[in-house]
Amino acid sequence: MLTYESKEARLSLAKKLASEGIVLLKNDNALLPLKSGAPIAIFGRAQLDTLIGGSGSGATASDETTLITEEFIKAGLTLDPALEAFYKNALDTERENAPDPEEERNKFKELLNSGLIYEIFGKYKAPIEEFSINEEILTSIPSTHTAFFILGRASGGEECDRRVQDDYYLTASEKDLLHRITAHFENVVVVLNINGFVDLSLIQSYPSVRSILFLGTAGEQGAAALADIITGKAVPSGKLPSTIAYSYEAYPSSELFFTDKDRPDTILTYEDFGLSAKDNRNPKVKSQEDFSKRPVAVYKEGIYMGYRYFDTFNVPVMYPFGYGLSYADFHIAYSYACREGENLQIIANVTNVSTLYSGKEVVQLYVSAPSGCLEKPYQELLTYAKTKELAPGETEEMTLSFPLKELASYDEASASYIIENGQYFLRLGNSSRNTKIIGKVQAEETIVTASYSNRLSLNSSNKGKLAFLSNKGAASYSYSTEEVEKHNAPCLLTLLQKDFNESKKSIAAASCSSSLSDKEARKPVSMQAFTLKDVKDGHCTLEELVEKMTPEELAVLLNGYGPGLPFGGMGGKYASTIQYSDGTDIAVSTHPTGFAGYISPALTKYGIPSVFYKDGPAGVQLTAWPTGISMACTFNMDLLKEFGTACAAEASGLDVDSWLAPGINLQRNPIGGRNFEYYSEDPRHTGYCGLAITLGAEEIGITTCPKHFALNEQETYRRGSTKNSFDALDSIVEERTARELYLKPFEMVVKNSKVSTLMTSFNKINGIFAAGNLDLCEGILREEWGYEGIVVTDWGDMDIVVDGADAIAAGNDVIMPGGPPVIEQVLTGFQEGRVTLSELRKSALRFLTYVMTSNSCKKYWEEQ
């Protein structure tokens, strides 16, 4: 096992990730790669201000960030000196006139301490203007030089989605620069150094734009990886994790996704959909009259999101899901299929048919399911595999395996997953718009693969009032040879109900009891000496330890340690914990590296140490790794598992117990503010990415903390606004859509790993806060999926979002960042009967079970 203890090893891996995540979208006349010494002209501020990551919990920083201009020079390309000097001088002047970074940090601290952080944290920042090039400099460069336009985009982020005009669509300064470049040069390469996707229709309209590359936000080694791709030292192998349409308006959620906080009139509310705000009010939270607006995100597109929509409704796309070019060419040939237990394996041969370049290809397997009682998308991804680097003429045999139960769809009427009677055509290819039918699976009867209970259903008052997208009468995307392929498709397997009888039973709820509960195995100990180590040593059970705790101690234990946010700086009003009657603190911090707001309280009376949680999806602020969207472009699960191991090694060096990653929400809309942090529009691809990273981290003994559970695809007012008196966003969704798409990545990670922390989201789901949703946190997560770890809330101040007592009653075990105000919420809820002593103890048992397995606890015991 590689441990990645050295910085050099981690940087090497970061470069591999960045390289395999670069997607070559266009390469007319084989413009790329360029030969060493080729004369080039580089335009765009991002050449010297290269974007490596996002913001918020997904932020990255590095003193060793590679810059595109510098790396192109190292790679042997010849830059125009006048143009290079222009950009350097322009950026130096801009930075000299910028606010002092230390002053900005102090302002941030003041805002944090004043409690206003959440009102400005998500303030939109438009893309920075491009510098206007002196005409004399432009015309002095020979038109035969290859021109590069480095398009940078860093808008959006936590609490803030992007905008459509002058963000998804190019800004006026970008359009002007693009027009002038393409008018002068014969060959133009556009590099997209962006944290999401932008409109490419204008870029594509210029004939001189011969090549387009999606670099994304590829971490501190991104520019170095790009230089290798440009010069042919490496060959592109990235694939798109989401569809690029011809316009923003083509996306099915375009009219349902509001982002402009500066225009409250654009916020969609219940009334905009013919729904009643009063009927959607949760009686446990503020009344309707307390809010001036109650925002909603209605998932009216249902199961038709991403390529599922574009393919089903025959909507042309610019670049489909899974698409990406290489300098090499490949041939994919189906070989045979075989059943291995509960899985079906498809064997295919991939051959590099080019004569000049080595390269890697991604083989993708899709299924087209029959529409019976349930509508089905035209096709959906089942699995994929990436080849090794194949030399010209070399062939590799690939195995693509998937569980047969993945052919099932969720039927709300029976609350079960069913494989409907009919033919399931399997498709093999290298993008969603380039597949070939290779065989079929025949279901001889409708098969029930799992039976559950209805959960996350629409509010009863909303049923029948919303028209969700339907494919009835839709003209699906059609391949010219499809009917012939269907007619000639061999039957690979026949399925019957008896094949799935064992799967029909729901997973029993996991026990939260200590494994040391056998009373006969205990050693005698004084009743006054119960500590967590006594549990470890077999002197008492965890249940007995927890039963000794008072409600006040339990409330402290189930919150984070620190003053909380934004309470922390209110004139020093709040300490980091509450006190016993004698004035002594109930909790302290015992963690050597953790800090308030990101650690748990240590109750030394019971020998309970602190554990440490740390952001985030692109690393723990040591190596600046590529962000999620760039890593997803690799389609290389082995590489992502290595990332999980390497980043967990960094986390371990910081004494981190729970790494707050991966972010496995979906890229529902191209202007989602955290799309850079998430992986894909496809739930299975997202799940595979999250699972690979989680399994890699487990090899170092670190647990990930998948987030945000669930339906947190929109940042705008996800947690409301105290200043504006806006309620938290309500994600209104059908149960089938929630289960098949938005919960699917979490299910894949939970069921296939030993993950022991998971984070809920701020938003509501069908009127109920996600963190206060018993069906979500207990019913689905624990009873159906068998999750045995702890659930933590997202880091909020608990003013508009879920009340601390309600969160614990619903199955959250830790309220973060917690603090005395939220401890008081829990105790008030206990006095009012909204959370019981039994529920407090149940969460304490789960939490302490997690603490006992943590590295921090093991070190604490060693030091005692």
| pLDDT in the model for residue 99 | 78
Q: How confident is the model at residue 774 (pLDDT cuts 50, 70, 90)?
A: very high
- Answer yes or no: are the C-beta atoms of 631 and 640 closer than 8 Å: yes
Neighbouring CB atoms inside 10 A of 592's CB total: 13
Higher per-residue pLDDT: 252 or 58: 252
| pLDDT in the model for residue 627 | 96
pLDDT higher than 50, residue 567: no
Which pair of structure tokens corresponds to residue 400?
């693509």
Which pair of structure tokens corresponds to residue 388?
């090794």
Cα dihedral across residues 239, 241, 243, 247: positive or negative: negative
Neighbouring CB atoms inside 10 A of 349's CB total: 14
- Answer yes or no: are the C-beta atoms of 418 and 449 closer than 8 Å: yes
| pLDDT in the model for residue 118 | 57
| pLDDT in the model for residue 3 | 65
| pLDDT in the model for residue 115 | 41
pLDDT higher than 80, residue 502: no
Which pair of structure tokens corresponds to residue 649?
């090694």
- Over the chain, what is the mean pLDDT? 92
- Answer yes or no: are the C-beta atoms of 717 and 731 closer than 8 Å: no
pLDDT higher than 80, residue 562: yes
Which pair of structure tokens corresponds to residue 699?
């090899």
In three-state secondary structure terms, 241 is coil
DSSP string, 3-50: ---SHHHHHHHHHHHHHHH-EEEEEGGG-PSPPTT-EEEEESGGGTS-
Cα–Cα distance, 570 to 566 (Å, whole number) = 8
Q: Kindly report, residue by residue over 689-712, the tens digit of the pLDDT.
A: 999 999 999 999 999 999 999 999
pLDDT higher than 70, residue 227: yes
Percent of the chain with pLDDT over 90: 83
Q: How confident is the model at residue 493 (pLDDT cuts 50, 70, 90)?
A: very high
Residue 446's nearest CA partner among 470, 429, 422 is 422
Q: DSSP 3-state helix, strand, coil percentages of the chain (rounded to 5)?
A: 35, 20, 45
Cα–Cα distance, 638 to 401 (Å, whole number) = 15
Cα–Cα distance, 675 to 713 (Å, whole number) = 9
| pLDDT in the model for residue 723 | 83
| pLDDT in the model for residue 101 | 61
**Partners of 317 in beta bridges:** 245
Pairing mode, if any, of strands 343-352 and 764-765? Answer: unpaired
Chain length of the chain: 864
pLDDT higher than 60, residue 528: no
- Answer yes or no: are the C-beta atoms of 262 and 124 closer than 8 Å: yes
| pLDDT in the model for residue 522 | 45
CA–chain centroid gap for 780, Å, is 20
Query: Helix 837-853 and helix 855-863: axis angle, to 10°?
Result: 80
Cα–Cα distance, 350 to 270 (Å, whole number) = 51
Please indicate whether the domains covering 307-504 and 532-863 agree at the CATH topology level: no
CATH of 307-504, one of 3.60.15.10, 2.60.40.10, 3.50.4.10, 2.40.50.140: 2.60.40.10
| pLDDT in the model for residue 574 | 72
Structural class in CATH, domain 23-235: alpha beta
Residue matched to tokens 């025959």: 314
Cα–Cα distance, 677 to 56 (Å, whole number) = 10
Which pair of structure tokens corresponds to residue 36?
């060493």
Instruction: Give, in degrees to the nearest 5, the angle at Cα 330 between 687 and 676.
Output: 30
| pLDDT in the model for residue 517 | 38
In three-state secondary structure terms, 453 is coil
Q: How confident is the model at residue 838 (pLDDT cuts 50, 70, 90)?
A: very high
**Partners of 348 in beta bridges:** 334, 398
Residue matched to tokens 């810059």: 67
> What's the whole-number mean pLDDT along residues 570-577?
70
Higher per-residue pLDDT: 57 or 402: 402
| pLDDT in the model for residue 1 | 54
Q: Kindly report, residue by residue over 84-121, the tens digit of the pLDDT.
A: 999 999 999 999 988 766 565 555 544 444 345 556 66
**Partners of 40 in beta bridges:** 79, 146
pLDDT higher than 60, residue 406: yes
Dihedrals phi, psi of 305, to nearest 5 degrees: -120, 145
**Radius of gyration over alpha carbons of the chain, in Å?**
27
Cα–Cα distance, 705 to 697 (Å, whole number) = 11
Cα–Cα distance, 270 to 471 (Å, whole number) = 25
Q: Kindly report, residue by residue over 371-390, the tens digit of the pLDDT.
A: 999 999 999 999 999 999 99
Q: How confident is the model at residue 570 (pLDDT cuts 50, 70, 90)?
A: very low
Q: Where are the domains of the chain?
A: 23-235, 307-504, 532-863
Residue 776 DSSP symbol: I
- b/e burial code for range 752-777 (CB count within 10 A of at least 16 → b): ebebbbbbbbbbbbbbbbbbbbebbb
Cα–Cα distance, 435 to 195 (Å, whole number) = 29
Could you give the residue ranges of the DSSP H alpha helices within 423-462?
none
| pLDDT in the model for residue 6 | 87
CA dihedral 57, 63, 65, 68 (to 10 degrees): 130
Cα–Cα distance, 537 to 539 (Å, whole number) = 6
| pLDDT in the model for residue 799 | 73
Cα–Cα distance, 259 to 262 (Å, whole number) = 9
Cα–Cα distance, 420 to 370 (Å, whole number) = 7
pLDDT higher than 50, residue 241: yes
Residue matched to tokens 């021109």: 147
pLDDT higher than 70, residue 543: yes
> What's the whole-number mean pLDDT along residues 573-594?
93
Q: How confident is the model at residue 123 (pLDDT cuts 50, 70, 90)?
A: confident
**Which residues lie closer than 8 Å to 792 by C-beta, 6 or more apart?**
613, 658, 705, 757, 758, 759, 760, 812, 813, 814, 815, 816
Domain 532-863 CATH assignment equals 2.60.40.10: no
Residue matched to tokens 């008196």: 725
Which pair of structure tokens corresponds to residue 453?
């209970």
**Partners of 419 in beta bridges:** 447
| Residue 490, CA atoms < 13 Å, CB-side half-sphere | 7
Q: Which of 405-419, 499-513, 588-602, 840-854 shows the lowest per-residue confidence on average (mean pLDDT)?
A: 499-513
Residue 663 DSSP symbol: B
DSSP string, 460-502: TTTTTT------TT------TTHHHHHHH--EEEEE-GGGGGG
Q: Which of 234-248, 559-573, 602-616, 641-655 shows the lowest per-residue confidence on average (mean pLDDT)?
A: 559-573
